[in-house]
Amino acid sequence: MSHSDHNTPGHNNTDTDSLLNHEYDGIRELDNPTPGWWHAIFIATVLFSAVYYLFWEHSEFAWSEHDIHKKAQVAEYKRFFGELGDLSPDTPTMTMLMQRAEMMAIAESMYITNCAQCHAKDGGGINGVNLTDDHYKSVKAMPDIFTVITQGAGNGAMPAWRTNFSENERVLLAAFVASLRGRTPAAPRAPEGEVIPPWDAAR
């Protein structure tokens, strides 16, 4: 490569105004500013990051992933109950609910959160009575489970849940409690109350 090649700045670039006034070993430099479109993209990404940060991470006034998820969950919940209409606290309704796995999954998560601390996750009982055996204190038939959940029992030892859950939710919980009967818990509490007939016969 000859020396003169290096002295020619650019290919067909004859823009000598932008040729800078220095030379190193015959290498000349053009004053070539970053183009406008490059600045525009840079500024756009900075602005986008600010908006993204506000709206997705730290926003109480706009949407966030968490809110979107929560709203979707509530909507799903409403759709579920809407599909069923008002649930009656009777044996046929509860029997129907017991056969729907997705309903029992919702009920179980309500039970784990609100009831398991006294009745144990598997229904075996802790301070609360064993819900898996055939002995019951205040229950003779399935609808009585709904009544106990609604009004409480044992002078408040079993709290009333009327204000905590809608009627539909209490029917669903009652169906789940009914489904605990006949299970084999890990550490069952001794039976209390009277032996009652099987659910089907007790309508």
What does the radius of gyration of the chain's CA atoms come to, in whole angstroms?
36
CB of 156 to ligand HEC, least distance (A): 9
| C-alpha distances in Å from residue 170, one per residue of 66, 147, 154 | 27, 9, 19
- Following CA atoms 198, 111, 170, 182 in sequence, which dihedral angle do they give, to the nearest 10 degrees? 0
CB 110 within 8 A of CB 173: yes
Per CB under 6 A, the list member of 149, 171, 175, 180 interacting with ligand HEC is 149
Query: The tokens of 132 are what?
Result: 């898996």
Cα–Cα distance between 91 and 96 in angstroms, integer?
Answer: 9
What number of chain residues touch ligand HEC (CB under 6 A)? 24
For residue 186, give the nearest of 130, 143, 106, 111 by alpha carbon.
130
Q: Please provide residue 163's backbone torsions phi and psi, each rounded to the nearest 5 degrees.
A: -85, -15
**Does position 160 bind ligand HEC by CB under 6 A?**
no
| One-letter amino acid of 162 | R
Q: What is the nearest approach in angstroms of ligand HEC to the Cβ of residue 80? A: 19
CB of 174 to ligand HEC, least distance (A): 7
- Kindly give, in sequence order, each residue whose CB lies less than 8 Å from that of residue 26, ignoring residues fewer than 6 positions away: 3, 6, 7
With binding defined as CB under 6 A, does residue 199 bind ligand HEC? no
| 118 sits near ligand HEC (criterion: CB under 6 A) | yes
Region 172-191 residues binding ligand HEC, contact defined as CB under 6 A: 173, 177
Task: Identify which range of 9-17, 22-30, 53-61, 141-149 contacts ligand HEC by CB under 6 A.
Answer: 141-149
Among 139, 142, 172, 175, binds ligand HEC (CB under 6 A): 139
Does 171 sit near ligand HEC (CB under 6 A)? Answer: no
Of the residues 114, 122, 141, 191, which one makes contact with ligand HEC according to CB under 6 A: 114
Q: Which chain residues interact with ligand HEC by CB under 6 A?
A: 114-115, 117-119, 127-129, 136-139, 145, 148-149, 153-154, 157-159, 161, 173, 177, 193
